[in-house]
Every structure is written in structure tokens, then in C-alpha cells.
């Protein structure tokens, strides 16, 4: 939705937040707002210039609470926006740097749904009939639906480093580990789309594939598995990691079943994030330890 810049009650420009784009940085992520500014024609001697244009970015999620995300600066040279005798259109990009903690906070308020951004632009106008500097501001709105936001995360490179930078198994690796890596990506996609139960359930599939690939729980009777939890003092690291994987399978098990107990579980974004992070870490440890052996 477009808005107008005015001076002395007269509209001299139309402003529109056309789109948001993602960009990558070294150790940070970039969110870029593409703003269209159309200046209307002014008579000679009545031109208006806008300088020191900058912005604030606010975001609102599923709970309808609005949060300040940070300041946006104009990319490139801060040239004044000037009206001419004829209508003129300018494409002005603004950007903000985001760290993983801020994006994670945005994900928490999004809660698998859409996001609503508000960009407040500020500047100083000069020219016109009085030719004295006056403040100018405008407020722009932008809705990023679920698929748009996920695409932005991908443009920023955030999905590839959201949890851990996990090396993908090679073609010669065992099929279970190749499949486990694919399931991890599927679980993360479920999480981003707000399918939290599916995200946790897919983590259980990953853990099953790890155990199958390592052949460390095949045909083990219940009393043997029970003993794993009772005699830990003498365990080596590999046995302890197996025990952790088994424990995480117990946690994620209800997300794959529909019995009376399992259906009583509520799976939210924190559950999904925790399950995916723990599963990703265990997958990486299993892959590295297997290659060392």
C-alpha cells in the first residue's frame, strides 16, 4: 500500500514498499527493502528536495504484537531526492543487518504463520514556497506470507546455517546417512512452515536411520535396552551417545503415533527447534565418529 509525502499540505511524492529481499553477509544476514518513490512535477523555482532519508523497521507476528526490529539505512550514496518539472520515479533500496538471534526472535513471533512489516521513513524537506527545512515522514506496510518469508530466509542463506553446518554425506556413504540428511532438511522445512508435530516426528525418523546405519540397536531385547539406562558409569563415549539418541527417540516418539497418550501432546515452535537442533547435533557426531572408526 502506497503513502504520500507532503509539504505545506501539498502532495509532492508517492512512496511504496514494493518488495523485501534477502542478502548474505559475512557473519550476518541482510534484509533489503525496495522502495519506489515517485515525485510529481513541480514548477521551476518550486522544486523540493528530501535529504537524510532513513528508516525504522517494525514487525508483527501471529499474536498481533508489534516489535521494533532495527534501523534501516539507505544503500549507496545518500543523494537528495529531488522533484523536477516532470514526474520522476526513483528506486531506493534500504537495508538492515540481522544476526541469528534476531531472526530466531522473528521466527518465534511468526509461529509458522505470516509476518507484517512496517517501515517508517524519515527525512528533511527543503524548497517549495517557504524554502525552510521541515521534517517529513511516511509509514509503509508489507505483508510477508509464509512462503515469502521462507524464500527470504533462503536468499539470506539462513536455512543453510539455521542449526549447524552439517556436511552432506557423499555418494559412497551408507544409504541410511544419506537419507537421514534428507530427513533433517525435511524436518527443518516442517518447522519453518509451522508443522511442528511433523518436524518432531521426522526427527525420530532421522534417529532411527542413524541407529540403523550404525547397527547399534538392531534386535536388542527390551531388558538389554533397559540396562543401558542403569549402568552408565563404565560407558565409553560411543555408548553414551547411543544412550542420548535413545533418550531423544523416547521424546520424539509420540509425534509419530496417534494413541491416547501421544495425541495429548502439544508440539510448539520451541519443541520443534529443540528437537531439530539436538537431532542435527547427534547426526553430525554419529557421522564424524563413524568416519574416525
Torsion of CA 124, 129, 132, 138, to 10 degrees: -20
Residue intervals in the chain for CATH 2.60.40: 3-155
pLDDT of residue 117: 97
Task: Compute and round to an integer the Cα radius of gyration of the chain.
Answer: 27
Residue intervals in the chain for CATH 1.20.120.330: 175-292
Q: CA quadruple 204, 208, 214, 215: dihedral positive or negative?
A: positive
Asked if 225 and 216 touch (Cβ cutoff 8 Å), the reply is no
Residues 6+ apart with CB under 8 A from 56: 68, 70, 71, 72, 119, 120, 122
Phi, psi of 63 (to 5 degrees): -80, 0
pLDDT tens over the chain, length 293 residues? 688 888 777 888 899 999 999 999 888 999 999 999 998 988 887 888 888 999 999 999 988 889 999 999 999 888 888 888 889 898 999 999 999 889 989 988 998 889 999 999 999 988 765 667 888 899 999 999 999 999 999 999 886 554 445 556 655 667 888 899 889 889 988 988 889 999 999 999 999 999 888 887 655 666 666 666 666 777 788 888 888 898 899 899 899 887 777 778 889 888 998 999 899 989 988 877 765 55
d(CA 164, CA 281): 7
Superfamily of domain 175-292: Nucleotidyltransferases  domain 2 (1.20.120.330)
Residues 6+ apart with CB under 8 A from 201: 252, 255, 256
- CA–CA distance from 161 to each of 153, 248, 282 (Å)? 10, 22, 16
d(CA 138, CA 6): 9
pTM of this structure: 0.69
The domain defined by 3-155 folds into Immunoglobulin-like (2.60.40)
Q: CA quadruple 37, 43, 44, 49: dihedral positive or negative?
A: negative
Q: Are strands 29-39 and 10-24 parallel, antiparallel or unpaired?
A: antiparallel
Residues 9-56 pLDDT 10s: 788 889 999 999 999 988 899 999 999 999 898 888 788 888 899 999
pLDDT of residue 217: 64
pLDDT of residue 23: 94
pLDDT of residue 165: 54
Residue with cell string 522533484: 83
pLDDT of residue 163: 47
Amino acid at each position: 500500500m502506497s503513502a504520500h509525502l507532503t509539504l505545506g499540505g501539498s502532495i509532492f511524492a508517492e512512496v511504496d514498499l514494493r518488495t523485501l529481499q534477502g542478502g548474505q553477509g559475512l557473519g550476518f544476514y541482510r534484509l533489503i527493502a525496495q522502495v519506489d518513490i515517485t515525485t510529481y512535477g513541480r514548477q521551476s523555482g518550486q522544486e523540493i528536495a528530501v535529504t537524510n532519508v532513513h528508516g525504522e523497521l517494525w514487525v508483527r507476528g501471529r499474536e498481533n504484537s508489534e516489535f521494533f526490529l532495527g534501523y534501516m539505512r539507505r544503500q549507496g550514496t545518500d543523494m537528495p531526492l529531488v522533484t523536477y518539472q516532470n514526474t520522476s520515479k526513483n528506486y531506493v533500496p534500504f537495508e538492515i543487518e540481522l544476526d541469528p538471534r534476531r531472526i530466531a526472535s522473528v521466527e518465534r513471533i511468526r509461529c509458522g504463520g505470516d509476518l507484517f512489516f512496517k517501515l517508517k521513513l524519515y527525512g528533511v524537506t527543503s524548497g517549495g514556497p517557504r524554502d525552510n527545512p521541515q521534517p517529513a515522514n511516511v509509514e509503509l506496510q508489507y505483508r510477508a506470507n509464509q512462503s515469502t518469508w521462507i524464500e527470504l530466509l533462503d536468499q539470506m542463506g539462513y536455512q543453510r546455517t539455521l542449526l549447524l553446518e552439517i556436511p552432506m554425506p557423499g555418494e559412497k556413504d551408507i544409504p541410511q546417512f544419506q537419507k537421514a540428511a534428507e530427513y533433517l532438511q525435511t524436518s527443518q522445512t516442517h518447522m519453518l512452515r509451522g508443522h511442528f508435530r511433523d518436524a518432531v516426528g521426522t526427527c525420530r525418523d532421522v534417529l532411527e536411520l542413524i541407529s540403523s546405519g550404525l547397527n547399534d540397536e538392531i534386535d536388542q531385547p527390551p531388558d538389554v535396552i533397559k540396562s543401558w539406562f542403569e549402568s552408565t558409569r563404565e560407558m565409553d563415549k560411543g555408548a553414551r551417545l547411543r544412550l542420548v539418541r535413545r533418550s531423544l527417540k523416547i521424546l520424539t516418539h509420540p509425534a509419530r503415533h496417534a494413541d491416547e497418550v501421544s495425541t495429548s501432546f502439544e508440539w510448539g515452535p520451541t519443541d520443534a527447534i529443540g528437537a531439530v537442533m539436538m537431532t542435527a547435533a547427534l547426526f553430525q557426531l554419529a557421522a564424524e565418529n563413524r568416519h574416525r572408526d
